[in-house]
Amino acid sequence: MRKKEKAAGKNPLHREYGLWSNLRFVTGAMFRYEPKLKFIIVINVISCTVVTYLWSFISKFVIDAITQESTTMKLFAVIAVLFAVQVISTVLQTYAGSENWYRYINTRFNLIVGKNRKFMTQRYKNLEDKDAMDCYQKAGNSVGGNREGVEGMMRQLESTLIAVAAVIVGLCIIGTLSIPVVAGMTLIAVLNFVAKNHTNRTCKRKIWDPLATWFRKDNYMNRTFTDFSSAKDIRMYDLKDFFLNKYRELGKERLAAQKENELRWWICEQIGNLLWLAAETGLYVWLIYSVLNKDLSIGNFTLYLGSAATFFSYMLRLLDKANELLQCSRQVDDFRSFMDIDSGLSNDGAHVPAFENYEFTFEDVWFKYPGAEKYAIKNLNLTVKAGQKLAVVGLNGAGKSTFIKLLLRLYEPTKGRILLNGTDIAGYDIKEYYNLFSPVFQDICLFAFPLYMNVSMKEKAVSDRTRAEKCLEEAGMKQKVAELKNGIDTEVLKVLDDEGVDFSGGERQKIAFARALYKNAPVIVLDEPTAALDALAEARLYREFDRLTSGRTAIYISHRLSSTQFCNNVAMFKDAELVEYGTHESLLKAGGAYSEMFRVQAQYYTDKGINMSEVVEG
């Protein structure tokens, strides 16, 4: 079935795939991750159906045996056979129930892994796109529990098959009594289904879909309450009441939605109760009439009464399950919509050749962030020459970091193109392109695994511990590592290990430098990673890092000028444009924006008792 390219609500990324397409998707996942479910579900359907109707037959045979004065031996024989069937069916039912629940959880877990993989391989720009993030939030909700979304559909599918089997058996039994009774009960069950399906569809469209943004806000608030990095500000600025009041306001929105949801379902339940009363009344009237006028035996009266009640119950359940399947299907739509977002990270691009040198050229590049009115980069023409050091400087907001994001292909140019040795980088496989760079960003992120893996950024089996230790030493962490109880095996952060260690801002930056050294890519990018260091420490660290990466292309981004004098060229950005380009000496002689910025910073360092020559000389 072709998926429908129909947007739901206001999110253009949402798609509706339809129930049958979603059933194929979910069953495909079930049998891919848990092949034994095929047999377990069949066993459960058969055993549950037998157990459902067995006591109706037991009652009939016992009553017939008593009223027809059958022998005691015959009566006990019948009871023994039916009892044996009951025991076998119950054992099989219990076995199936104990086997399938964790298999459903395992299937859901594997789909969550796929969702997380998809998120971590999204193009960087999607992380700032509201529609994409709403899709991610709803996809998370669809695999967040066992009664809804993907796992809910698995469980509802099994329950639906049980209900189908029970309805078929019920039809075979009460169909011999009266076709009009079957038709009437079926009609009432259908009306109940229509009411519930309407309520499901309306609640999702009017209540739960609009709450996707609410869930993102709720997640943010809960993270902030417990985030160690926020704890100091919350205490020092006494933000407790501020956050709690914000959270109360957020709770009011959720409560209002829940109240509306409960009201709609209360009305639906009352409609269902009235329909059930009508069905029960009609059944009793017909059976009493049949006993009085059609010589219906007491045994068959009992059989038909129990079977009809069971049939109607399962007919309602079947249509309820169909309703719940549709509800789950709408949530599976959410999951698949996110999974089908084009991440832009496919392997369709050309291989990046193993060049001896790597030169990058920006040709008339313009860039505007999604939803922004102004350009963050305008008319940029610049060449990053192979093997040379380029300092990119300018005040905050000048366009320096945007320039790096474009170079790294975290974003694509709005206009113009970027060339690698004369070829447009947009045509290259993006994962291979990423391998060209060893970046160190301003926001240093450490992960909750051992220190050496925080350097290698690889799994344990493929991490070179000796190399990681050497890189830490070269980055200036030798003494710190020696002080750690477990050395490079020390767990980082206290998230997964109570004895985990956190590091200061300067130490984090040195770990980030060690990562760049470990990766050993041909192009080094330093995007203001030394912001937490003073100017003298920054200059010395840059000097040492430059020595360690000698011969490779390096780009130093900073609003301070401690790196400019040992770089081959300086690119000065201002108001999203490249305003000056040249050597440190030539730009000083030109007397422009760079010269003024250098003069101001030199004066600042002098006021602080730091001689600019010391900063440069190290």
Of the pLDDT bands very low, low, confident and very high (cuts 50, 70, 90), residue 240 is confident
Q: 199 pLDDT exceeds 60?
A: yes
On whether both 172 and 222 belong to a single domain, the answer is yes
Domain assignment of residue 594, given as a range: 360-445+515-617
DSSP-assigned letter for residue 2 = P
pLDDT in tens, 5-18: 444 446 888 899 99
On whether both 324 and 213 belong to a single domain, the answer is yes
Q: 546 pLDDT exceeds 80?
A: no
Lowest mean pLDDT among 41-45, 205-209, 554-558: 205-209
More confident residue, 229 or 135: 135
pLDDT in tens, 423-457: 999 999 888 899 999 988 888 888 888 999 999 99
Give the pLDDT score at 6: 40
**Contact between residue 567 and residue 389 where contact means Cβ atoms under 8 Å apart:** yes
On whether both 367 and 266 belong to a single domain, the answer is no
Q: Residue 12 falls within a domain, yes or no?
A: no
Sign, CA torsion 56/61/63/64? positive
CATH of residue 304's domain is 1.20.1560.10
Tokens (6 digits) for 607: 């006021």
Distance CA 57, CA 408 (A): 73
Distance CA 323, CA 308 (A): 22
**Residue range 276-289: mean pLDDT, rounded:** 73
**Residue range 85-89: mean pLDDT, rounded:** 84
On whether both 177 and 221 belong to a single domain, the answer is yes
Beta bridge partners of 578: 573
pLDDT in tens, 559-572: 767 667 778 899 99
* Helix, strand, coil share of the chain (percent; to 5): 65, 10, 25
Q: 50 pLDDT exceeds 60?
A: yes
Distance CA 156, CA 149 (A): 10
Torsional class of 295: left (φ above 0), alpha (ψ -120 to 50), beta (otherwise): left
Lowest mean pLDDT among 67-71, 145-149, 361-365: 67-71
Most confident range, picked from 268-282, 510-524, 551-565: 510-524
**Contact between residue 376 and residue 152 where contact means Cβ atoms under 8 Å apart:** no
Total count of domains within the chain = 3
- Neighbour-count burial for 307-320, b at 16+ CB within 10 Å, e otherwise: bbbbbbbbbbbbbb
On whether both 268 and 303 belong to a single domain, the answer is yes
Tokens (6 digits) for 372: 């922004």
Q: 486 pLDDT exceeds 70?
A: yes
Tokens (6 digits) for 225: 């309450």
Q: Considering only CA atoms, which of 289, 36, 49 is closest in space to residue 177?
A: 289
Q: Residue 353 falls within a domain, yes or no?
A: no
On whether both 255 and 388 belong to a single domain, the answer is no
On whether both 440 and 451 belong to a single domain, the answer is no
On whether both 53 and 119 belong to a single domain, the answer is yes
Helices (H) and strands (E) counted in the chain, each on its own, are 20, 10
Most confident range, picked from 56-60, 239-243, 325-329: 325-329
Distance CA 573, CA 400 (A): 7
* Cβ-proximal residues to 429 (8 Å cutoff; 6+ apart), any chain: 347, 348, 349, 350, 351, 352
Q: Residue 463 falls within a domain, yes or no?
A: yes
Element (H, E) at 580: strand 577-582
**Residue range 211-226: mean pLDDT, rounded:** 81
DSSP-assigned letter for residue 206 = I
Q: Residue 11 falls within a domain, yes or no?
A: no
* Cβ-proximal residues to 383 (8 Å cutoff; 6+ apart), any chain: 359, 360, 361, 362
Give the pLDDT score at 306: 65
pLDDT in tens, 379-422: 999 999 998 899 999 888 889 989 999 999 989 999 999 999 99
Q: Residue 98 falls within a domain, yes or no?
A: yes
Q: Residue 355 falls within a domain, yes or no?
A: no
On whether both 190 and 260 belong to a single domain, the answer is yes
On whether both 520 and 603 belong to a single domain, the answer is yes
Please say which residue of 339, 374, 389 terminates a domain.
339
On whether both 331 and 432 belong to a single domain, the answer is no
Q: 2 pLDDT exceeds 50?
A: no
Give the pLDDT score at 5: 40
pTM greater than 0.95: no
On whether both 459 and 404 belong to a single domain, the answer is no
